[in-house]
Amino acid sequence: MSELKPALTSGLISGTLVSERPRLLVVDDQPVNIQALYQVFAKDSEVFMATSGQQAIDVCRQKRPDLILLDVLMPDMDGIEVCKILKADAETQNIPIIFVTSQDSPEEETRGLEVGAVDFITKPVNPAVVRARVKTHLTLKMQSDALRALASIDGLTRIPNRRFFDERLDAEWRACRRGGNSLSVIMIDVDHFKKYNDHYGHLEGDNCLKRVASALAESNWRGRDLAARYGGEEFVCLMPETDLAGAMNKAESLRLQIENLAMPHSESANADMVTISVGVATTVPSERESEEVLLGAADEQLYKAKQTGRNRVVGIALS
């Protein structure tokens, strides 16, 4: 698998790449059943527990488990409904779900598989069997996550591409809307890049973009932050739960990082080295607007940065 920039691999895929110690969620309204499965997996896995359908959904969104063992028959919200909700959400749809139930009928198993479950285990569970099946589905998840990761990175710079950025923006927009939190976008453009390409050649132009991408990737990002190549000489950064002041500080640190690379640019009109212009926009997502409004605002701020001299940061907080 091609190497990803290390600062950006965490959370690259919804329901991230399976770690050495898998994260399992056990859902059952009977604590004795949860305890039985906990004993099976506690030694080798991090095990979360939920005793209701809504609690299971909340834990999934907060903890992003690698696999869910889900009881079918529960009061208020049964496992079938929980599965439908999780599979309809981009943040959780790739988490494999194994139904665990006392009902042993072809019709029940078919119903579970039709709503998106990957397997069906009957109670009382056989520890060796459930351990083997979980191991199989964790392996399959790791393989599918790796393939999605390959499809989500930019071929030149090896950082996430625009397609993946768009997916993450949609997911983080909804997450920040639910929590009433700020969401910030940073748009970046390499100053006078066409002149750089024309003067130094396309190979050097590619190397320039690679170095800019590496500097962005190696910045001190938090777990859910993301930097991606947006297209051409444009890059974009996503910062959930970050207000305008925090995003502006980060944007300025990125500008300085690129400036400190000291890549010669004799054709630049505003410096003798490669620099970037940066636009920042922040909002608290609501039902009344979409993520396109935030992206458009960041792009407008980038335009202002370029119009007022380049190699600077301009930002706005949307009301």
Same domain, 13 and 126: yes
User: Taking phi first (over 0 means left), then psi (-120 to 50 degrees means alpha), and beta for anything else, what does residue 28 get?
Assistant: beta
Domain count along the chain? 2
Evaluate if residue 16 carries a pLDDT over 90: no
Domain assignment present for 156: no
Whether 135 and 189 share a structural domain: no
Whether 174 and 101 map to the same domain: the answer is no
Element (H, E) at 232: none
One domain for residues 110 and 207:
no
**What values do phi and psi take at 303, rounded to 5?**
-60, -40
State pLDDT tens for residues 274-284: 999 999 999 99
Whether residues 101 and 21 fall in one domain: yes
For residues 4 and 146, is the Cβ–Cβ distance under 8 A? no
Residue 305 lies in a domain: yes
If asked whether residues 26 and 109 sit together in one domain, one would say yes
Under DSSP, the state recorded for 192 is T
SS3 call for 294: helix
First and final C-alpha spacing in the chain: 43
The verdict on whether 267 is a catalytic residue reads: no
Q: Which listed residue (108, 109, 233, 291) is catalytic?
A: 233
Confidence grade of residue 7 (pLDDT, cut at 50, 70, 90): very low
Name the H helices within 152-221: 162-179, 193-200, 202-217
Q: In what order do the strands lie in the sheet with 23-27?
A: 46-50, 23-27, 67-71, 97-101, 119-122
Q: What is the DSSP secondary structure assignment for residue 5, as one 8-state letter?
A: P
1 in a structural domain: no
In degrees and rounded to multiples of 5, residue 120 shows phi and psi of -145, 120
Model confidence over 102-118: pLDDT tens digits? Answer: 887 888 889 999 999 99
pLDDT of residue 105: 82
Residue 10 burial class via C-beta count within 10 angstroms: exposed 0-12, middle 13-18, buried 19 and up: middle
**Where a domain ends, among 89, 120, 151?**
151
Where residue 17 sits, what CATH number does that domain have? 3.40.50.2300
- Angle at the Cα of 90 from the Cα atoms of 88 and 95, rounded to 5 degrees: 85
Q: Are residues 36 and 128 in the same domain?
A: yes
Per-residue model confidence (pLDDT) at position 103: 81
CA distance 256 to 319: 29
Residue type, 116: G
Q: What amino acid is encoded at 7 in this protein?
A: A
Q: Of 151, 177, 193, which marks where a domain is finished? A: 151
Percent of the chain's residues with pLDDT above 70 = 94
Cis before 264? omega within 30: no
14 with 59, same domain: the answer is yes
pLDDT digits (tens, 9 = 90+) for 286-307: 999 999 999 999 999 999 999 9
Tell which residue, 185, 213, 180, 170, has the closest CA to residue 315: 185
Q: Give the pairing of strands 97-101 and 67-71.
A: parallel
pLDDT surpasses 60 at 135: yes
Instruction: Check whether residue 215 and residue 93 sit in a common domain.
Output: no
pTM of structure: 0.72
Say yes or no to pLDDT of 11 above 60: no
Domain identity same for 61 and 196: no
Residue 157 lies in a domain: no
Whether 131 is in a domain gets the answer yes
Please answer whether residues 228 and 165 qualify as being in contact, where contact means their C-beta atoms are separated by less than 8 angstroms.
yes
The whole domain housing 133 covers 6-151
Domain boundary among 110, 131, 151: 151
Q: Are residues 219 and 90 in the same domain?
A: no
In one-letter notation, the amino acid at residue 218 is E
The answer to whether 62 and 90 are in contact (CB under 8 A) is no
At residue 14, the pLDDT reads 37
Look up the CATH number of the domain holding residue 169: 3.30.70.270
Tokens (6 digits) for 81 = 């409904």
CA distance linking residue 47 with residue 71, whole number of Å:
15
Give the pLDDT score at 12. 42
Same domain membership, residue 232 and residue 170? yes
Q: What is the pLDDT of residues 194-244, one digit of tens each?
A: 999 999 999 999 999 999 999 999 998 988 999 999 999 999 999 999 999
